[in-house]
Amino acid sequence: MPTIALHQKYRPKTLAELVGQPYVQTALTNAINRMHIAPAYLFTGSRGTGKTSTARIFAKSLNCLSFDGPTDEPCGTCQSCRSIETSNSLDVSEIDAASNNGVDDARALIERSNFAPVIGRYRVFLLDESHMLTTQSQNALLKCIEEPPPHVVFILCTTEVHKVLPTIVSRCQVFHFRALSLQTIAQHLQEIADAEAIAVNADALMAIARFAEGGLRDALQLLGQVSLLGEAVTANHVIEMTGGVTATDLLTVLEAIATNDTFQLLKLARSLVDSGKTPKLILSSLLQTYRDLLILKAAPQAADLLTSPVNYSQLKAISTQWDFDVLNQSLAQLQKAESYLRNTTNAAVWLETCLLNLMPMLRSISFSSPDVKQAVGKNGHSRKTISETASTTTGHKPTDLAALWQKVVASAKPGTQKLLTQARLTKLQGTKAILEVAPASFAKFEANQQAIARMLQRVTHNPKPMTVLIRTLTASKNGRSV
C-alpha cells in the first residue's frame, strides 16, 4: 500500500474538522445550512492555514449526492465527492491560477461557466493562488464574478490578498484565515501522533510548531519526517532535522559571550560550522534567542510568544543579567552581520567576528548599570555617544531651553513680549532657572523676577514654585556661558 503524506491523510473532510478557524467554520456552516451561498468567495491567509482544504470541503458540501441539498457534512463516498477528491470532477474545476493566468484562460473559464452542472447542483470554480492572475485576466473575470449564472460559485484562494484587484475583492465574500497559534498546532499534532502511534514528547511537538510558523502543513510534514527516526522523538531531534541550532548549543554560546570567553567562543563557532550548520542559520537562531530575551525584558507577560528553542526558565535566568539596551545593540549587530553574510564568500570569518563583537568586554559599557541605561534610553543608540550624553542628561539641552523660553515669551502679554525676547534661558534644573539678560535691561527683569518665575512654572507644568536667577550677559570663552 502506498504511503500517504500525513498532511494529505489528515486533510479535514468536513468543516467541523477544520483546525483553528472558528469564525470561518461557523460562518460557512451557517451559509450552507441556511442556503445563503454567495456567488464568489475569497479565502486569504498565510500558507498551511486551510484555504484550499476549506474550498474543497465547501465544493463537496455544495455538490454531495448523498443528500438532497447542500450539506455541512459531505459523505466523501458518493461519486461527486470522490471525483472532487481526485480533482477530475466535471462540475468542480480546481484551477491553478499561477499557470493559467492569462486573459485567454479567463475567457475560456467564463465560457465554461455558462454550462449547467452535469451531476451536481453547482458549478464551482476553485481558483488557487489567484493573486498570480494578471490584471487583464482579473478584469476579464470581473463581470463574471459579479453576476455569475445562478448555478456558479467562485472560490478564490490566495496568500497575498493585496495583489488581487480591489474591485474583485469587493465583489467576493472575504474570509481571513489566520495563522495557527503554537498551542493549536501542538495540540493537533498530539492528536495525530496518538492516532499514528508516533512516540514524540511535548517539547518536540512545540519545537515542530515553532518551526511551522503557523502553517499546519509544514508542521505535519516535519512530524512525518521525524517519525521515521524510529525512536522516541525529542526536541533536539526536531531541531537537528530542520538544521537548526539546538538549545544546548545556543546556551553555551550565550554563556561564552556573557563571560567574555574568547577562545571558547571561537571553538564553538568552529564546531558549529563543522557540524554542518551554515553561518547564516547560526546567526538567525541567535537572533531569535536575542529577540526572545528582548521580549522577556520588555514584556514579561508575553511569554507565550517566544519562538526560540531555549526554554522559558533558562531564558528568564539569562535575561536578568543583560539589560535592554545591550540586548538591543546586540540584535542590531546580528542583523547587520546577517546582511553582510549575504555578500561575503568567507562566511565563517564573519560569523566569528560577529560573535566576538557581541561580547560585553568589547563594548565600552558594562552590564546593568542603571545610569548608562537611562542615558541610552533617552538619547539615541550609538555606543560612542553614551559617555558624553550621560553627563548632560541631568540638565536640558540648549536647544530645548531656547524652545522653552520661546513658549514662555509666547504665553506672555503682548506688551512684555518684546522685553522678554531679550533674555536667554541658560539653565533649568528642578525648580531653579537662570536667565541671562543684557546689562541695560537688568533692572527691569530684576523687578519682575516673581512674575517671570510664575510664567516659567506655568509653561513647564512644574507643580512647585520656581526661583529665577537673573544674570547680566557675560561672554565666556566659547561665547556661551553656562
Partner 1 sequence: MIILLTGDDQFAIRQELEHYKAELDSQWLELCYHRFPSSALEQAMSAARTPSLSGGKRLVVVEDCNLKQWGDTQLESLRYLAQMPDSTTLVFLATNVDKRLKIYKHLIKHGQCFELSLIPPWRTDLIAEAIATQAKQMKLRLPKDVVEYLAAAIGNDMTRAASELRKLAIYTNGQPVGLAEVQSLIPCQTQSNLQLAEAVRNGESETVVRLIDELLARSEPMLVMVATLLTQFRTWLWVKSAIASGIQNNTEIAQLCNVGNPNRLYYLRQEVATMPLRTLIQAVTKLVDLEMSIKQGAVQANAIMPSLLAIARLFQTIHSK
Which residues would be at the binding site for partner 1 (CB under 8 A)? 23, 26-27, 30-31, 34, 36, 38, 44-46, 159, 162, 166, 169-176, 178-179, 181, 214, 284, 287-288, 291, 294-295, 298-302, 305, 307, 324, 328, 331-332, 335, 338-339, 342, 374, 377-378, 380-381, 397, 400, 403, 406-407, 410
For the bound state, the minimum distance from the C-beta of residue 341 to partner 1, rounded and expressed in Å, comes to 11
Cell numbers for 364, please give them.
565600552
Q: Which is nearer to partner 1, 461 or 477 (CB)?
A: 461
8 Å CB contact between 333 and 303: no
Q: How far is CA 481 from CA 425, 473, 475, in A?
A: 11, 8, 7
Residues 6+ apart with CB under 8 A from 111: none
Least CB distance from residue 118 to partner 1, whole Å?
23
Instruction: Could you list the beta-strand ranges (E) of 330-466.
Output: 424-429, 432-437
Cβ proximity to partner 1: between 340 and 442 the closer is 340
Cβ 109 to partner 1, closest distance in Å? 20
Minimum separation from the CB atom of position 331 to partner 1 (A):
5
* Nearest CA-CA partner of 62 in 43, 89, 88: 89
> Nearest distance from residue 102's CB to partner 1, in Å?
21
Q: Specify the residue, 335 or 364, whose C-beta has the smaller distance to partner 1.
A: 335
Of 6 and 250, CB closest to partner 1: 250
User: Which residue has 448555478 as its cell numbers?
Assistant: 151
- CA distances to 323, 342, 343 from 346, rounded to whole Å, are 32, 10, 9
Question: How many other CB atoms sit within 10 Å of the CB of residue 147?
Answer: 11
What are the φ/ψ torsions at residue 223 (nearest 5 degrees)? Answer: -60, -45
Q: Would you mind telling me the total number of residues written for the chain in this entry?
A: 482
Minimum CB distance to partner 1, residue 403 (Å) = 6
Cα-based angle 56, 61, 63 (whole degrees, multiple of 5): 95
Closer to partner 1 by CB, 234 or 379: give it.
379
Nearer to partner 1, 5 or 299 (CB): 299
CB of residue 379 to partner 1, shortest distance in Å:
8
DSSP 8-state symbol, 49? S
Report the SS3 class of residue 21.
coil
Identity of the residue, 82 or 291, whose beta carbon is nearer to partner 1 in the bound complex: 291
CA neighbor of 367 nearest in space, from 392, 330, 338, 314 = 330
